[in-house]
């Protein structure tokens, strides 16, 4: 357990927080890690707050509980900050990564006294710049990888390119945009 | 070489089905098992397998069509969860008494009342007396491995019984984990073809299946089912041995984790066993206390003697049930394990806790509390709560 | 005969797996005619061979050959009397006893 990085994702139904967690599991798996990616399931309702989780480790993972003391938290939608205690149990030497266009002085007070690292990323703006559409998943994924350091930038990017090549085999035109979104986000944090 | 992958539990079962390429799959969707028929239907649509998928109007029909196909001579299976299996109730018993080696991919989910979609074992535990073999999994790897062994166990000439391969809803069914897959050709060789001696579509033999059995026949039929279940014990171990030769992964009736020198044991079924293992590792590293785990894999047939022998010298045992049976005393696992211990005159103190009902989470810390309680019970010889809950809010 | 191999005296080991029966039409071996307390009597003079009695018989006890009904199969007729009721010509009457 000591060598396991635990990450908790907060989003709203339909925004892709679960997909982002599964993507992170995927890419970490491809770099040779043991992974878990799983949602906290309930009735699936568009817009309702949802939670998803990742465990990433050098060793096999047997734990099957949710994550209560994550090292990193990713928030896909800043409107959750007022209703959900997103920093609950978050390690002081960890970090929270929030998708927002707002400045730090507006976000900090919403974090219920969390003293650790806070990283803000405007995933929406990055996505629109790179892809022309608001798909915050890719930039958020890159930001989480960059902040958590669960893998090296080069390995991450090359694995993501390979997986996009597979996923978008019939739409190769979106691959470069997605790769650009990843790089912009990686460098922004 | 095994294929390194990462899959959810549902994906793993669907992949096993693809590798087996069974003849017929009638299915009706229900959360959290829906993805299994969905993936299989995709494999069929893509021409990757030639399984006949039957769209049915209910789970009652799904199981009826599955047993019809199986009686006809096909290798047939279905998938369901919770209330879906409850609607199959009548056919579950028919499949067992007609001796049809059907495989059911069961994704465990709480039975409604109150309505809930999350994991517990009330669906399969309710069906524990239906005459089906039941094998449970801790992880995605285990549910995949168990599924590959399902048809060879069920179809064995000394068994000929239906089998359910169970996994915990959402926790493993929707959680992505690392998994080692077996190569297609090895799977095909391991699972083989179904060659029934008698089947309805045999043009050279006329046959009736499922005749009315008056009192003069019913009891003899039940005894024969019991004998087949008894044979299943041997066959399950034989298949586990064959499987180990192929993959190196060892299976039995149950897994003993840190039990060699253990004084305090937890007995549990399913995904929470993995969480318990993490607790054991921590406790042993930090305190050196002799804690262990007995994780039941095969619940039907119930390996009574083997479990009793593995547990009899413990100082204290906590049996953890993920379903109620409202006897106002034990849960199903608690009742059977305690009865088994009576047979070997064990002096172990035994408690029975309920956990995880309707998907309530159970954590590493919860298990630490359980082991603390066991130690205290063994020291004082006093049991204050024979039947207790883990994670229950109470005033 | 299947009843020579499996019957109400058979030990459990001798009963087929799942009670499956590996032959067809074994109900012929079971003489339900023994249950009869009244017996249909056929009057060939009144019969017009309309065959209405044939499909209503619950025990298939009215054999047909070359589109004409034959004598009752009294090994299987239970004496229910439906044939007598349905006959428009009074060609079937029920008599007390076997």
pLDDT tens over chain C, length 98 residues: 777 888 899 999 999 999 999 988 888 888 999 999 999 999 999 999 999 999 999 999 999 999 999 999 999 999 999 999 999 999 999 999 98
Residue B364 near residue B279 (C-beta atoms within 8 A): yes
Give yes or no for B224 touching C (CB within 8 A).
Answer: yes
Residues B268 and B120 in one domain: no
Q: Do A38 and B176 touch (CB under 8 A)?
A: yes
pLDDT at C4: 81
Residue B77 in domain: yes
Domain ranges of chain C: 1-30, 32-98
- ipTM here: 0.94
Residue B277 in 3-state DSSP?
Answer: helix
Residue A174 lies in domain: 4-188
Angstrom distance (rounded) from CA B184 to CA B186? 5
- Contact: chain C with chain B (3+ CB pairs below 8 Å): yes
Angstrom distance (rounded) from CA B273 to CA B255? 10
Helix, strand, coil tally for chain C in percent (to 5): 30, 15, 55
Instruction: For strands B387-389 and C68-69, give the pairing.
Output: unpaired
Q: Which residues of B touch A35 (CB under 8 A)?
A: 6, 176-178
CA–CA–CA angle C25, C23, B224 (5° rounding): 115
Closest CA to A114 of A140, A144, A88: A88
pLDDT in tens, A95-112: 999 999 999 999 999 999
How is residue B292 annotated by DSSP? E
Q: Which residues of B touch C22 (CB under 8 A)?
A: 198, 205-207
Closest CA to B155 of B244, B236, B68: B236
Q: Between the CA of residue B336 and those of B4, B186, B342, C22, what are the distances in Å?
A: 38, 37, 10, 39
Q: Do C24 and B206 touch (CB under 8 A)?
A: yes
Residue B129 lies in domain: 3-247
Closest CA to B80 of B135, B130, B25: B25
Angstrom distance (rounded) from CA A66 to CA A10? 13
Domain count, chain B: 2
Residue B164 near residue B179 (C-beta atoms within 8 A): no
Angstrom distance (rounded) from CA B228 to CA B205? 24
Give yes or no for B215 touching C (CB within 8 A).
Answer: no
pLDDT band with cut points at 50, 70 and 90 for residue B119: very high
Identify from C3, C19, C24 which residue to disrupt to test chain B contact, counting B C-beta atoms within 10 A and taking the largest count.
C19
CATH classification at residue A38? 3.40.920.10
Angstrom distance (rounded) from CA A57 to CA A6? 9
pLDDT in tens, B51-107: 999 999 999 999 999 999 999 999 999 999 999 999 999 999 999 999 999 999 999
Residue whose tokens read 């309930």:
A42
Residues B151 and B87 in one domain: yes
Give chain C's contact residues with B (Cβ, < 8 Å): 8, 10-13, 15, 17-26
Residues B319 and B236 in one domain: no
Which residues are bridge partners to C65 per DSSP? C68
Single residue among B213, B247, B281 that ends a domain in this structure: B247
pLDDT band with cut points at 50, 70 and 90 for residue B362: very high
C-alpha neighbours within 13 Å on the C-beta side of residue A144: 33
DSSP for chain A, please give it.
-TTEEEEEEEEETTSSHHHHHHHHHHHHHHTT-EEEEEEE-SS--TTSEEEEEEEEESS-----S--SS-SEEEES-GGGTTTS-TTTT--TTSEEEEE-SS-HHHHGGGGTT--SEEEEE-HHHHHHHHHSS--THHHHHHHHHHHH-SS-HHHHHHHHHHHHHHHTTT-THHHHHHHHHHHHHHHH-
Residues B58 and B130 in one domain: yes
Angstrom distance (rounded) from CA C92 to CA B47? 62
Phi, psi of B342 (to 5 degrees): -60, -35
Residues B213 and B81 in one domain: yes
Residue B395 in domain: no
How is residue B367 annotated by DSSP? H
How is residue B2 annotated by DSSP? P
Angstrom distance (rounded) from CA B124 to CA B111? 10
Q: Which residues of B touch C23 (CB under 8 A)?
A: 206-207
Q: Which residues of B touch A61 (CB under 8 A)?
A: 177, 274
> How high does pLDDT run on average in chain B?
97
Residue A147 near residue A72 (C-beta atoms within 8 A): yes
CATH classification at residue B17? 3.40.50.970
Single residue among B209, B229, B247 that ends a domain in this structure: B247
Residues B179 and B197 in one domain: yes
Give chain B's contact residues with A (Cβ, < 8 Å): 6, 32, 117-118, 138-139, 168, 170-172, 174-178, 271-275, 277-278, 281-282, 359, 361-364
Q: Which residues of B touch A65 (CB under 8 A)?
A: 272, 275, 361-364
Angle in degrees, 0-180, between the axes of helices B140-155 and B184-191, rounded to the nearest 10: 40
Other Cβ atoms less than 10 A from the Cβ of B369: the count is: 14
CATH architecture of C32-98: 2-Layer Sandwich (3.30)
């Amino acid at each position: 357990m000591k060598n396991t990085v635990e990450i908790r994702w907060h989003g709203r139904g339909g925004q892709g927080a679960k997909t982002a967690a599964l993507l992170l599991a995927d890419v970490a798996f491809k770099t040779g890690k043991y992974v878990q990616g799983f949602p906290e399931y309930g009735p699936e309702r568009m817009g309702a707050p949802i939670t998803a989780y990742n465990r990433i480790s050098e060793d096999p993972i047997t734990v099957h509980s949710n994550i209560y003391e994550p090292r990193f938290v990713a928030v896909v939608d800043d409107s959750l900050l007022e209703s959900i205690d997103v920093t609950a149990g978050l390690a002081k030497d960890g970090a929270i990564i929030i998708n927002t266009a707002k400045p730090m002085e507006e976000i900090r007070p919403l974090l219920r006294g969390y003293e650790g690292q806070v990283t803000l990323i405007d995933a929406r703006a990055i996505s629109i710049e790179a892809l022309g559409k608001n798909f915050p998943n890719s930039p958020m994924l890159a930001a989480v990888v960059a902040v958590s350091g669960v893998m090296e930038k080069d390995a991450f990017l090359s694995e993501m390119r390979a997986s996009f090549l597979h996923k978008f085999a019939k739409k190769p035109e979106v691959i470069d945009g997605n790769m650009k979104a990843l790089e912009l986000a990686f460098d922004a944090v | 070489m095994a294929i390194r992958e990462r899959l959810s539990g549902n994906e793993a079962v669907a992949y096993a089905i693809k590798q087996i390429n069974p003849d017929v799959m009638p299915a009706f969707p229900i959360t959290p098992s829906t993805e299994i028929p969905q993936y299989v239907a995709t494999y069929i649509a893509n021409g990757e397998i030639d399984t006949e998928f039957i769209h049915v109007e209910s789970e009652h029909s799904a199981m009826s069509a599955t047993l019809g196909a199986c009686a006809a001579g096909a290798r047939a299976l279905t998938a369901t969860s919770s209330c879906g299996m409850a609607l199959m109730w009548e056919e579950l018993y028919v499949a067992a008494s007609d001796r049809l080696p059907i495989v059911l991919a069961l994704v465990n989910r709480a039975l409604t009342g109150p309505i809930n979609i999350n994991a517990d074992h009330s669906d399969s535990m309710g069906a524990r007396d239906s005459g089906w073999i039941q094998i449970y999994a801790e992880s995605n790897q285990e549910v995949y491995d168990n599924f590959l062994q399902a048809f060879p166990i069920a179809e064995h000439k000394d068994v000929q019984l239906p089998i359910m391969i169970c996994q915990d809803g959402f926790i493993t069914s929707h959680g992505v984990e690392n998994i080692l897959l077996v190569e297609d050709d090895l799977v095909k060789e391991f699972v083989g073809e179904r060659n029934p001696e008698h089947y309805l579509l045999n043009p050279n033999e006329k046959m009736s299946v499922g005749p009315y059995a008056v009192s003069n026949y019913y009891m003899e039929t039940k005894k024969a089912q019991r004998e087949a279940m008894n044979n299943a014990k041997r066959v399950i171990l034989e298949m586990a041995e064959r499987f180990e030769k192929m993959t190196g992964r060892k299976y039995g009736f149950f897994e003993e984790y840190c039990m060699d020198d253990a004084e305090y044991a937890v007995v549990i079924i399913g995904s929470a066993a993995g969480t318990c293992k993490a607790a054991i590792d921590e406790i042993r590293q930090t305190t050196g206390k002799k804690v262990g785990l007995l994780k039941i894999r095969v619940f039907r047939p119930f390996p009574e003697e083997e479990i009793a022998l593995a547990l009899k010298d413990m100082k204290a045992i906590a049996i953890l049930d993920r379903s109620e049976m409202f006897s106002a005393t034990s849960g199903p696992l608690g009742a059977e394990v305690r009865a088994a211990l009576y047979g070997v005159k064990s002096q172990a103190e035994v408690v029975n806790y309920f956990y995880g009902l309707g998907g309530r989470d159970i954590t590493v810390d919860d298990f630490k509390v359980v082991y603390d309680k066991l130690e205290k019970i063994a020291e004082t010889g006093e049991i204050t709560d024979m039947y207790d809950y883990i994670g229950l809010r109470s005033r | 005969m299947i009843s020579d191999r499996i019957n109400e005296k058979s030990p459990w080991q001798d009963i087929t797996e799942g009670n499956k029966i590996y032959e067809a039409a074994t109900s012929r071996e079971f003489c339900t005619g023994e249950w009869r307390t009244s017996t249909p009597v056929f009057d060939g003079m009144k019969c017009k061979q309309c065959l209405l009695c044939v499909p209503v018989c619950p025990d298939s006890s009215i054999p047909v050959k070359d589109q004409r009904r034959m004598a009752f199969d009294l090994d299987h007729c239970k004496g229910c009397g439906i044939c007598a009721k349905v006959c428009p010509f009074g060609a079937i009457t029920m008599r007390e006893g076997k």
